[in-house]
Structure 1
Amino acid sequence: MVQSLLPNILEFISHIDPFDKLPPELQRQLAGCVSITYLSRGEQIDFHPDDTRRFLYIIRTGVMEQRKANGVLRAKLGPQDLFGFTFLENNAGGEDEYSVAIAAESTLLYLIPHTDLHTLLEEHPQYAEHFASQAQIRLQNALNVVWSDNDKGIFVKKVSEVATSFPAVVTSDMTIKQVAHEMRNVLRISTAVVKNKGRIVGVITDRDMTKRVIADGVSTDRPISEVMTKSPLTIGPNDLVLTAAALMMQNNIRSLPVVSGHKVHGLLTTTHMVQKNRIQAIFLIDTIKHTNTIKGLSDLTQERQAIFEAMVEGKVSSEIIGQVMGMIYDAYNRRLIQIAEEKFGKAPCKFAWIVAGSHARNEVHISSDQDSALIVEDNASEEDMKYFKRMANYVCGSLGQCGFQLCPGNFMAANPKWLQKLSTWKHYYTKWVTVPDHETLLNTSVFLETRSIYGEADFNDKLQQHLYKLISQNRNFLATLISDAVSVNPPLGIFNSLVLEKSGENSNTLNIKRYAITLVVDLARIYGLSVGCTSTNTAERFKFAHKKGVLSEDAFKNITGAYRFINQLRYLHQLEALKKGESPGNNIDPNFFGSFERTHLKDAFRIISNLQDAAKLKFSGV
């Protein structure tokens, strides 16, 4: 390399991810290793397993196309893009391997020998993950850089990180006196979990002892089973503290046993949370619970927005942001249903208010719209249905006033089509699964994920059981879903050729929901349903599919990493919009992306495309 070119090379690579993560002396060291080559249009670089000299390529100017062995386009790259990561390791290979890179136009390349890069990374291993050959590692590293897991507060911690107490564990045949002795004189704890033949059957607290034993004059020689709380509420060690706190508030209890299966891991009390932190989101949920007017609930919109901003700025993971925002959404929805019952009178028969889409998946963001429905018991009268229509109109309209957008496709309980008896809902699902068409796919894309938030949860459970049974009996339904899911592809091209909106107020922007997030959700749905996964959450569906062996470990890590990265970019974009006083959404100006975002988005888009190809092969012929 001509030494006079070194300043230009150094200036160029020092602003490119991942070189910008290196200290200046290492940037200079690598710049000194660079050689330069020029390719005319149509010239290509072939990659062979037995090549002894390999390079990391940096595109200075021009366009390169990576092609797989079968000729399929892997990626289209432009200035500042890198390729050659895949061949950094001798064992590189797999379904995402490419065999050739072709110049789509005249192209100038900087080449860094792998040997020099390996030497540098061996001497400075703290930077190795920035240059990992596997996209999943680079994506995870990107998440760690931009979105570290440092929590903003206790509400995003796991219960196991906060619960330090341990309850007494007693048996149901012990006397009240014996249990009280265990709680006070032995363990000095205020709560006891009661078991019978190894199964948790109840719980008793010192307050229960005062109210149910001393106040009522019950003999302490009686068995504890007579005064315990049966079928107690519990919380899992991996659940969020926010989930536990909301459960406590909704049921007016002060402690929750931490259990998995019937194994007791500890005890979470309100004292833990008061001692540790003031939890903003929990206080909002409690405020919502006690607010009695639409105006009052609407006035809390800014506080909801502040919590979202705090989580994004606090670099909380996208999964937790979705869960927390989902719980707040649930609280608004439940309270409005209660206010509706206060306004119109108690519901005349059993019903379930269910949510769908991102709300059902607990993947809620600041601009999530409404997806909901009502399931009413089959013996409901015509007058009963009129009551629920008034309720649905009131609740959906009020949610709109509180900042939850009306669904543009009208998939809401206020639409009479989605306010039906349980038998009608079952008929809907039967038709959708057995005779799918375009309208069917539109409906099922919304209502394949549902969750009950108020009323008879059993109605939703029965509907979901009916759905899973239908799918198991009509495997061609998955083939129809996959055909629809791969009809849209993520943009593999360079960023000035992204799939952009061509008209309207969002012209020349990338709809990251349509061209990335929805594609991942669709794939998770198909993989999850194929193995009978009952979870509606995208990450949980992929995890279950991996556990069942239909999704390889690499594919699982790749797609979940890609999903996290894309979601968190969306949250960052929405945060910036809020700060500017603009309406947050899913349409992003490509100028918003720097070198860092472009590099890792391309990894994510390619991962999505690869999984689409794999899903077509796996499910198209079922």
Structure 2
Amino acid sequence: MSDPVSADHKRVMRFLEGVHPYDSLEREELRRLAGIFRQREVGPGEVVYRIGDVLEGLFLIETGGIEITDENDAPVSLLRGRNSFGERGLVREGAAMTNARAIEETRLLLLPVEEFRRLMQSSPVFARFFDRGRTVLRERRGELATQRVGDLMARDPITVPPETPIRRAAELMRDNHVSSLAITVDEGRLLGIVTLRDMATRAVASGLPGDIPVSRIMTTDPVSLSPSALGSDLLHVMLERRVGHVTVTEGDRIVGILTQTDLTRFQAVSSASMVSDIAMAETPQQMAAVTARLPQLLMHLVGASSRHEVVTRLMTDIADACTRRLLALAEAELGAAPVGYLWLACGSQGRQEQTGVSDQDNCLILDDAATDDDLVYFDRLAKFVSDGLDACGYFYCPGEMMATTPRWRQRAATWRSYFRSWIETPDPMAQMLASVMFDLRPIGGATRLFQDLQLDTLRLARANSIFVSHMIANSLKHTPPLGLFRGFATVKSGEHKNELDLKMNGVVPVVDLGRIYSLRGTLTQVNTRARLEAAEAQGVISRSGAHDLIDAYDLIAETRLRNQASEIRNGLKPDNFMPPSDLSDLERSHLRDAFVVVRTMQSAIGQGKGMLS
């Protein structure tokens, strides 16, 4: 008569041999684990754990079924045999982040928490599977494009007050072996910058005496970036504006200076050369020849394992450079603008999230001094720029959300009335327009026309609870493509039948969440990932919720870009659709888990939980 313990041990081992990632372990390790798993029988309706419970370990379903629900008791997933659950809580803080209960007679295997954590450390395959794909999203280091400016710069730049004599400033530059000085007041507030070139062309060549103040030859309001900007931003600014020195500031305080010499050990040739070529182009056709290389740029960046937010930032930088060059060409042809104006982008360009599939979404804010005759000029300017963008592959917006449409080419006062009316009367059209316009980002022109408008609108919107409620409801219309039994809800008909829409059901739900968080927290960030990070920093969402949502967003966006790169590599035009069969079992599992996180956060925001009142 066989030993029942031995029989159970053999049964569990045979079961584990068919379950990933246990099937990747050495046989002796698998035999040892089979003896460590504890068995638990649960009946229909019996609770396995609730949110906040301390988890004993990782659960694995041998037979039966488990329903996973969120904090509002809304169904998140229905799990069957060979599925694990509880790992999110174990990876985070050891407490359950969802509810779990049996839907029928179920036999569970429990891997103790200490054994789970040991395997997370010792088995790369185990760690990749249960860490929700974060190890797949490694940051690429060592390239200028992916470096943050704060990591590139030398801190504590040499500074002098504005009354410093030119001769003394020159001596400081010589003695410290630097090519520039920052001119500051009030312990670091930046007024301007002086370079060796300024010394030569503005002081020596002009015969100025050495005792005059250095403020006489400084460049006021120099080009500045924040420490969080990317190295690509730095190089693009230098190439497009033809400057050799860029100050790094936090608010109005200088924290560093970067020069072309500082960049000799870094390279970002592809995107930087495209920006340079665009800045030198004399016609839209010359620019179109440059943007024709965008698919290859995307394929190269994805192939180099660049983070998705870096890829989309670089792709957007090209669109920004095109827009600014077209504005310059338009003014060269039409003459100088009669009044101040500001060209803004919305949509994916506004959020700096462009991929290989982009149309144009833009608008114009005009100074209130603009006359009716001036409007004729801006009509021609808008047509010149939009036609040029279309020639460069940024196709006309199907919904005509462009500066060529008179409604989106108005004086600042009219724009204020637009936002006020959308907030006070939040009908469906107003909600749609407000959603688009909350993603506005200045591209070229007088930024003063937007700064107060953005903050005033956010404050007005946040104070209107009815408007916020409508915006939340509108944001929940796009849902992750989750089906039951660990499957996906794919497109039901048409050209993309049985495929996932990684835009509308993938990234858009997270974009919508980020927009609501920025509204509730009066956050001025426009980029989705930056909004999520800012929302966490200000307590708009919990730390664990923010980290889970950012991880989920990273994985979904990464999958979308890899799919587009694969299509380009195969000679196809990139789109946002992907058959689930293109993914491995591991990738499908991680992607579905990412969708579960998004759905959970949507449920939370729909119930008004985890947010500021």
Same fold (TM over 0.5): yes
Q: Name the CA shift for 1:499/1:221 in 2 (closer, same or farther; >3 Å).
A: same
**Secondary structure of 1:530's aligned partner:** helix
Q: What is the Cα deviation at residue 387 of structure 1?
A: 3.1
Give TM-score, length-normalised by structure 2.
Answer: 0.88
**Secondary structure of 2:552's aligned partner:** helix
CA contact (8 A) 2:36 2:111 kept: no
CA contact (8 A) 2:142 2:266 kept: no
Amino acid aligned to 2:237:
L
CA contact (8 A) 1:166 1:189 kept: no
1:191 maps to which residue? 180
Give TM-score, length-normalised by structure 1.
Answer: 0.87
User: Any residues of structure 2 matched to 1:111-510 within 5 Å, and which?
Assistant: 112-115=109-112, 118-119=114-115, 121-122=117-118, 125-127=121-123, 130=126, 138-139=131-132, 142-144=133-135, 146-151=136-141, 153-164=143-154, 167-185=157-175, 187-198=176-187, 199-261=189-251, 264-277=254-267, 279-494=269-484, 497-510=487-500
Q: Name the CA shift for 1:124/1:246 in 2 (closer, same or farther; >3 Å).
A: closer
CA distance in 2, matches of 1:258, 1:337: 27
Q: What is the Cα deviation at residue 533 of structure 1?
A: 0.9
Amino acid aligned to 1:72:
A
**Secondary structure of 1:100's aligned partner:** strand
CA distance in 1, matches of 2:249, 2:202: 25
CA distance in 1, matches of 2:497, 2:420: 39
How many residue pairs were aligned?
Answer: 603
Q: What is the Cα deviation at residue 336 of structure 1?
A: 2.1
Q: Name the CA shift for 1:611/1:125 in 2 (closer, same or farther; >3 Å).
A: same
Deviations 1:226-275 (A, max 9, x none): 22222322333332111112222233221123333465544311122234
Q: What is the Cα deviation at residue 27 of structure 1?
A: 5.2
Q: What is the Cα deviation at residue 55 of structure 1?
A: 5.3
User: Any residues of structure 2 matched to 1:90-105 within 5 Å, and which?
Assistant: 92-93=94-95, 96-102=97-103
CA contact (8 A) 1:121 1:128 kept: no
Q: What is the Cα deviation at residue 47 of structure 1?
A: 0.9
Amino acid aligned to 1:328:
I
Of stretches 563-572 and 343-352 in structure 1, the one that deviates more from structure 2 is: 343-352
1:72 maps to which residue? 74
Q: What is the Cα deviation at residue 211 of structure 1?
A: 1.0
Deviations 1:61-86 (A, max 9, x none): x8653245875312123575422425
Deviations 1:561-580 (A, max 9, x none): 11111111111111111112
Q: Name the CA shift for 1:213/1:299 in 2 (closer, same or farther; >3 Å).
A: same
**Secondary structure of 1:408's aligned partner:** coil
Deviations 1:468-489 (A, max 9, x none): 2421442321111112122343
CA contact (8 A) 2:66 2:101 kept: no
CA distance in 2, matches of 1:621, 1:121: 34
Q: What is the Cα deviation at residue 490 of structure 1?
A: 2.3
**Secondary structure of 2:336's aligned partner:** coil
Q: Name the CA shift for 1:265/1:197 in 2 (closer, same or farther; >3 Å).
A: closer
Deviations 1:266-309 (A, max 9, x none): 43111222343352211110101111222222222342222211
Q: What is the Cα deviation at residue 315 of structure 1?
A: 1.4
Q: Name the CA shift for 1:114/1:8 in 2 (closer, same or farther; >3 Å).
A: closer
Match of 1:57 among 60, 73, 78: 60
Amino acid aligned to 1:193:
A
CA distance in 2, matches of 1:217, 1:93: 73
CA contact (8 A) 1:367 1:405 kept: no
CA distance in 1, matches of 2:317, 2:578: 27
CA contact (8 A) 2:140 2:307 kept: no
CA distance in 2, matches of 1:319, 1:90: 24
CA distance in 2, matches of 1:87, 1:426: 46
Q: What is the Cα deviation at residue 34 of structure 1?
A: 6.9
CA distance in 2, matches of 1:217, 1:598: 71
CA contact (8 A) 2:55 2:95 kept: no
Q: What is the Cα deviation at residue 440 of structure 1?
A: 1.1
Matched, 1:46 2:47: yes
CA distance in 2, matches of 1:378, 1:196: 34
CA distance in 2, matches of 1:176, 1:461: 36
CA distance in 2, matches of 1:89, 1:527: 25
Q: Name the CA shift for 1:79/1:330 in 2 (closer, same or farther; >3 Å).
A: farther
Q: What is the Cα deviation at residue 454 of structure 1?
A: 1.3
CA distance in 2, matches of 1:72, 1:532: 29
Q: Name the CA shift for 1:482/1:177 in 2 (closer, same or farther; >3 Å).
A: same
2:548 maps to which residue? 558
CA distance in 1, matches of 2:220, 2:72: 63
Of stretches 612-621 and 505-514 in structure 1, the one that deviates more from structure 2 is: 612-621
Q: Name the CA shift for 1:510/1:21 in 2 (closer, same or farther; >3 Å).
A: same
CA contact (8 A) 1:482 1:615 kept: yes
1:611 maps to which residue? 601
1:85 maps to which residue? 87
Amino acid aligned to 1:143:
R
**Secondary structure of 2:224's aligned partner:** coil
**Secondary structure of 1:550's aligned partner:** coil
CA distance in 2, matches of 1:421, 1:124: 58
CA distance in 2, matches of 1:90, 1:586: 31
Amino acid aligned to 2:179:
S
Amino acid aligned to 1:125:
Q
Q: What is the Cα deviation at residue 432 of structure 1?
A: 0.6
Q: Name the CA shift for 1:214/1:380 in 2 (closer, same or farther; >3 Å).
A: same
Amino acid aligned to 1:119:
E
CA distance in 2, matches of 1:123, 1:514: 37
CA contact (8 A) 1:66 1:102 kept: no
Q: What is the Cα deviation at residue 398 of structure 1?
A: 2.7
Contiguous gaps of at least 5 residues in structure 1 = none
Amino acid aligned to 1:236:
S
Amino acid aligned to 1:606:
V
Q: What is the Cα deviation at residue 369 of structure 1?
A: 2.1
CA distance in 2, matches of 1:518, 1:437: 21
CA distance in 2, matches of 1:515, 1:451: 24
Q: Name the CA shift for 1:435/1:125 in 2 (closer, same or farther; >3 Å).
A: same
CA distance in 1, matches of 2:534, 2:56: 41
Deviations 1:36-75 (A, max 9, x none): 9999xx9466315899986521568x86532458753121
RMSD (CA atoms): 3.4
Deviations 1:478-529 (A, max 9, x none): 1111121223432343477533222221222221222232221112111211
CA distance in 2, matches of 1:570, 1:278: 23
Deviations 1:376-423 (A, max 9, x none): 233434443233233323322332232223323221222232222222
**Secondary structure of 1:487's aligned partner:** coil
CA distance in 2, matches of 1:438, 1:232: 44
**Secondary structure of 1:47's aligned partner:** strand
CA contact (8 A) 1:378 1:421 kept: yes
CA distance in 2, matches of 1:81, 1:380: 64
CA contact (8 A) 1:495 1:598 kept: no
Amino acid aligned to 1:47:
V
CA distance in 1, matches of 2:425, 2:111: 55
